[in-house]
Amino acid sequence: MRQWKFAVALLALTALLVASAVFAGDRMDAGKTQVTSTMKKDMKGEMAAQVAIDKPAPDFTLTGVDGKEYSLSEFKGKDVVLEWINFDCPFVHKHYYSGNMPDLQEKYIGKDGVIWLSICSSAPGKQGYYTGDKLSKRMKDAHWNATAYLVDADGAVGRMYGAKTTPHMFIIDKDGILRYDGAIDDTPSTRVEDLKTAKNYVSAALDEIMADKAVATKTSTPYGCSVKYGEMTKPKSDKTM
């Protein structure tokens, strides 16, 4: 009789331990799912990029140097170019002071009403961050010609889009879908003469979008000065350095 009672007790204890283990495992799995889906952080704890080609581009609101607030959603129905900018970057210097970037801005803003937003993710006191007269002078000297110059001093929008370099270009179509993410062209150098033979990905993508064609090159590896979300440094790969 005692052996029978002991066996029953042992079976009950075993069942209880198994049930507890399964419950704990379910809780651990649920916790992992929650961290992955709601926190949206990478292994280093940084906010992971929330963009994907041919998917809706995440909305954001930033203040321009003109004091106005700009939201991506307000431009629904128009093609939008996002350009990460830092006037101290030699790659940005190349595309602006050669006239390449201002010419693209003028051409496409005047064509089909493209919206061109320059975004600066430099923090106060860091390279590329300017305000007031100093910024006005740099914009004038560079012949900046975009729709708005937006300040992303805390890097929130840069992290959201996964902006890696200046320039890093994104194109969003009239329906709010991200159609291009990458470099301005296929020639990663600071030499102005290279513009003559470079294939401009941004121009090609915009032309295709406006012609209701599929974008041939949807992504490319961005090049330029690394975006540090408050600190921007020159890359080691530049051929001229």
What mean pLDDT comes out for the span 198-206?
98
Q: Quickly state the pLDDT bin for 11 (edges 50, 70, 90).
A: very low
Closest by alpha carbon to 190, among 81, 85, 97, 84?
Answer: 97
Task: Judge whether residue 37 has pLDDT over 70.
Answer: no
Listed in sequence order, the residues at least 6 apart from 97 whose beta carbon sits closer than 8 Å to its beta carbon are 141, 142, 192
Task: Judge whether residue 220 has pLDDT over 50.
Answer: yes
Q: Quickly state the pLDDT bin for 19 (edges 50, 70, 90).
A: very low
Closest by alpha carbon to 100, among 210, 226, 208, 203?
Answer: 203
**Lowest-pLDDT range of 5-9, 118-122, 168-172, 202-206:** 5-9
Task: Judge whether residue 168 has pLDDT over 80.
Answer: yes
- pLDDT at position 47 is 52
Task: Judge whether residue 231 has pLDDT over 50.
Answer: no
Q: What is the pTM of this model?
A: 0.77
Q: Quickly state the pLDDT bin for 149 (edges 50, 70, 90).
A: very high
Q: Torsions phi, psi of 50, nearest 5?
A: -115, 25
Q: Quickly state the pLDDT bin for 229 (edges 50, 70, 90).
A: confident
Q: Quickly state the pLDDT bin for 196 (edges 50, 70, 90).
A: very high
Q: Quickly state the pLDDT bin for 92 (edges 50, 70, 90).
A: very high
Q: Is 84 helix (H, G, I), strand (E, B) or coil?
A: strand
Query: Which has the higher per-residue pLDDT, 167 or 8?
Result: 167
Scan for tokens 């200046």, then name that residue.
166
Name which CATH class applies to 61-233: alpha beta
Which two tokens mark 207? 């032309």
Q: Is 126 helix (H, G, I), strand (E, B) or coil?
A: coil
Which two tokens mark 70? 């700009």
Question: Residue type for 152, please?
Answer: D
State the DSSP code for 151: E
Which two tokens mark 172? 């969003």
- pLDDT at position 93 is 96
Q: What is the mean pLDDT of the chain?
A: 81
Scan for tokens 């012949």, then name that residue.
143
Q: Quickly state the pLDDT bin for 48 (edges 50, 70, 90).
A: low
**Structural domain spans, the chain:** 1-39, 61-233
CA angle 157, 163, 167 (to 5 degrees): 120
* Start-to-end Cα distance in the chain: 88
Listed in sequence order, the residues at least 6 apart from 222 whose beta carbon sits closer than 8 Å to its beta carbon are 164, 165, 167, 168, 169, 182, 183
